A = this chain, B = another copy of it.
Amino acid sequence: MKRIADSTVRRLSLYLRFLEEFGNGGQVTVSSGELAQRGGTTSAQVRKDLSFFGSFGKRGLGYSVPELAGQLREILGLEREWRVIIVGAGKVGTALAQYGGFSQRGFHIVAVYDKDPAKIGTPWEGLTVRDVAEMSADSARETPDIAVLTVPAGAAQGVVDRLVAAGVPAILNFAPAPINVPPEVALKNVNMALELEGLAYALTNRDANDGAGHR
């Protein structure tokens, strides 16, 4: 299969959300134009995005809401359950655990780790905080699919090296530190300060660049 752009995958995720909204509203059929309007893009963009994976619509009619939603779930890999661990039981980790959007999409938090002895063993969102030292042993038993990294910047690379060694195939990094992984490990970085700086730039150069950031 052809390499699909990151931006395309992002939009597909959004389309799925919109389909669920439309479906909840009782709509059974939807046009590329409606999806486009909901997402602030164009109907051509929607159709092109979908066309990378097949043709799912009926000409003259549009797309079946539940059918297209199913196709998107399959494309995105959301038909299965994903085993997620959170490394770093601080505020960010806790906020993520409470965020309902994850379990709703099949992302199950199966373990939490921390280094702080004061936290280890304490109850945490229905789980018990475990010692990072146990991570490798736990992973050997049952490797998680995705690790969410919410440790302080200084600790990030060290933890990542352990995760990689333990065979974790994907990492979502919230630590404000650039980290290195071998190419076979999927990595995404989320850096909230970066987003704020983008807004600061937009405000500073507002007259030039009116409005607009990344919608």
Contact = CB atoms under 8 A, between A and B. Distances in A.
Interface of A: 1, 3-4, 6, 9-10, 12-14, 17-18, 38-40, 75-78, 82, 84, 90-92, 94-96, 98-99, 101-102, 105, 107, 145-146, 148, 169-170, 172, 176, 178, 182-206, 208-215
Q: Which 5 A-B pairs have the closest CB atoms?
A: A77-B204, A101-B193, A91-B95, A95-B95, A186-B202
Copies in the complex: 2
29 contacts: A1-B208, A3-B209, A4-B205, A4-B209, A9-B198, A9-B201, A13-B198, A14-B194, A17-B176, A18-B178, A82-B196, A96-B192, A99-B192, A99-B193, A101-B176, A102-B192, A105-B193, A105-B197, A146-B199, A148-B196, A169-B203, A183-B212, A184-B210, A186-B206, A186-B211, A188-B195, A188-B198, A188-B213, A189-B215
A17 to B, nearest CB: 8
A192 B102 CA distance: 9
A172 B184 CA distance: 33
Given A76-B200, A182-B211, 13 more contacts: A10-B194, A17-B176, A76-B197, A77-B204, A78-B197, A82-B200, A90-B98, A101-B193, A146-B203, A183-B210, A183-B212, A186-B206, A187-B215
A95 B97 CA distance: 12
B202 A170 contact: yes
B94 A170 contact: no
A92 B197 CA distance: 19
A199 B211 contact: no
Most B-side CB within 10 Å, residue of A91, A183, A206: A91
A64 to B, nearest CB: 22
Most B-side CB within 10 Å, residue of A190, A193, A199: A199
